[in-house]
Structure 1
């Protein structure tokens, strides 16, 4: 652990906030169109309808805010899922959220000819919600309701089911493939601020709720038996966690599509910084998740410029080495 007292943890959070602000500035300034920080400031103080000012105001600022919001939401979701399932490799996809959202989008395109990112957002949110509710419902049935292994297995089964349906629809409707492929890879490119504002209340509610239940998550992390012995209502807290995950992960996939690895990697980095206390872990993970997705998005603009790589590909590229390290470390312990 790098920081092990209140003062040092506070300093770590403040440093992360400063880095996040710098990353937002970099995201706004750098890209295919040549701009500067001065140009960015003038876009809001001395707007002259130039191409540079329009790009900054209408494209880059919404893109930076979306990347920061989605990164924070996915990281918080990863923290909650890893604590809930006691699985160090757990992520938002464990509830079938990504696959459920992807299937809903492809289904709506194939059968209802729906297109457009604004329409995709609400359809994806609906699909993610249905998938997560189905997983929670399945895992809560039987004698031992919502045990970590049951949640994990139910999520894996639903993810496989929805992924198979999605691939089947795309295989029989090749005309729809190009339209949805970029969305399925995960991207913040071309997203308008209206898409974020439409789901932002759900994201904000999820952030606040995650902070509010952080003391309960500390108890839950001790194990179900100990938590029950300390008076924690396991069923209630697991349902609340499930709702928060739906709000955050569902809202994120609605805005940016399925973006992987942030929910897996960031919680482990945050734990190295501030330890396992969720009152510190959740805000630190949120900041680091925002920073990582902003950096990945900026990098995605330069790999094959003037074209762009979907940011979901970049997060996979960045996150894969960490994923392998975490997996190997877990196997050694086992």
Structure 2
């Protein structure tokens, strides 16, 4: 009897995955600590630890840490992870290196749905209008995918990006029109939100964002083997037992949840979903079982870093994390365009 011995790592994750996560997770932890400590009023790390371990309500620094900095940092982690995951799923399912929720109009669709629900229905709680964010993300994504023919094997990046850019401009103008012509309460509520600011959110928003990340992220990770098969082409993937329609349906559902709730919680933030998957792919290779979780970690790190930079360069004022993320991601977008030369994949 002949026995065939196959190295275990071919079926499981590569051995280097452990070292990658061993580095990425501590870096994210350091950024979280910096996010809690840095601000218009710096808080020493020893005081941060004391506020987390032995909270004293009479200490104003403890109040700053617990009520302001911790929810803000956790929102940056969860929203950034959601956007990074959504970008990785979109790039995998369309086989397009330029696919990203902000560039393809998904975030803009969620934003206009959130603003319209708040203006027309008077919704003020994130737990109320997040459902409209999910629906808006779904409708916008479907429109862009149809216009850009993203369901066809051999997606044309030019067509898809142009469709997304056109829809983003249209929906962005609609969002601005609604905000500027709404009442003062809507204008005050969504002025900072529309720039992608993380401050002023409570733990309730963080909890909703965490639930959405668990649901959408869990579905995305379950799709990783199918996304690996889809990368070989629709015919080859189907021969390996992957259903293209089912994979597309579940991928769209995951992106809708991740982008819809992230936009409702933190505003329309672009380029995080573009940069994070490329960094993850450069480190891990083409295996989506590694790309997806690493994209979540790098997305969280990028958004936290953007928020920290926005607090430092304009101290004692702040620049919204969404604006900083755009300034950082814009040059990377140009680099990706030049590298891939927008050729048909």
- Which TM-score band (shorter chain)? 0.7 to 0.9
Residues of 1 paired with 2:205 and 2:252: CA distance?
23
Contact 1:97/1:127 (8 A) holds in 2: no
State whether structure 2 residue 306 is matched by structure 1 residue 290.
Answer: no
Q: Offset of 1:164 from its aligned partner?
A: 3.7
Q: Offset of 1:228 from its aligned partner?
A: 2.7
Residues of 1 paired with 2:39 and 2:204: CA distance?
22
Two-structure CA RMSD over aligned residues (Å): 2.8
State the match for 1:193 in structure 2: 203
State the match for 1:316 in structure 2: 326
State the match for 1:80 in structure 2: 89
Residues of 2 paired with 1:127 and 1:285: CA distance?
22
CA separation of 1:167/1:27 partners in 2, compared to 1, >3 Å: closer, same or farther?
closer
Contact 2:92/2:231 (8 A) holds in 1: yes
State whether structure 2 residue 129 is matched by structure 1 residue 123.
Answer: yes
Counterpart mapping for 1:94-133 below 5 A: 96-115=105-124, 119-120=125-126, 122-133=128-139
State the match for 1:205 in structure 2: 215
Q: Offset of 1:178 from its aligned partner?
A: 5.1
Per-residue CA distance 1:35-89 (angstroms, 9 max, x = gap): 1111112113332221100010111111111111111111111111011122211
State whether structure 2 residue 18 is matched by structure 1 residue 13.
Answer: no
Residues of 2 paired with 1:137 and 1:89: CA distance?
17
Q: What number of residue pairs does the alignment pair up?
A: 326
State whether structure 2 residue 30 is matched by structure 1 residue 22.
Answer: yes
Q: Offset of 1:269 from its aligned partner?
A: 0.9
Q: Offset of 1:122 from its aligned partner?
A: 3.6
3-state SS, counterpart of residue 102 of structure 2: helix
Per-residue CA distance 1:188-220 (angstroms, 9 max, x = gap): 111111111123222101112211111111011
Per-residue CA distance 1:198-245 (angstroms, 9 max, x = gap): 232221011122111111110111222322333321111100000111
State the match for 1:329 in structure 2: 339
CA separation of 1:242/1:94 partners in 2, compared to 1, >3 Å: closer, same or farther?
farther
Residues of 2 paired with 1:332 and 1:169: CA distance?
35
Q: Offset of 1:283 from its aligned partner?
A: 1.3
Residues of 2 paired with 1:244 and 1:332: CA distance?
26
Counterpart mapping for 1:152-191 below 5 A: 158-170=167-179, 172-173=181-182, 175=184, 177=187, 179-191=189-201
State whether structure 2 residue 310 is matched by structure 1 residue 300.
Answer: yes
Residues of 1 paired with 2:242 and 2:290: CA distance?
21
CA separation of 1:137/1:167 partners in 2, compared to 1, >3 Å: closer, same or farther?
closer
Give the counterpart of 1:41 among 42, 45, 49.
49
Residues of 2 paired with 1:263 and 1:25: CA distance?
23
Residues of 2 paired with 1:270 and 1:320: CA distance?
18
3-state SS, counterpart of residue 197 of structure 2: coil
Contact 1:105/1:120 (8 A) holds in 2: no
Contact 1:301/1:309 (8 A) holds in 2: yes
Give the counterpart of 1:146 among 144, 151, 155.
151
CA separation of 1:20/1:263 partners in 2, compared to 1, >3 Å: closer, same or farther?
same
Residues of 1 paired with 2:96 and 2:342: CA distance?
15
State whether structure 2 residue 258 is matched by structure 1 residue 248.
Answer: yes
Q: Offset of 1:161 from its aligned partner?
A: 4.3
Counterpart mapping for 1:240-279 below 5 A: 240-279=250-289
Residues of 1 paired with 2:137 and 2:271: CA distance?
20
Q: Which runs of 5+ in 1 are unaligned?
A: none
Per-residue CA distance 1:91-116 (angstroms, 9 max, x = gap): 1136633112221233244434554x
State the match for 1:90 in structure 2: 99
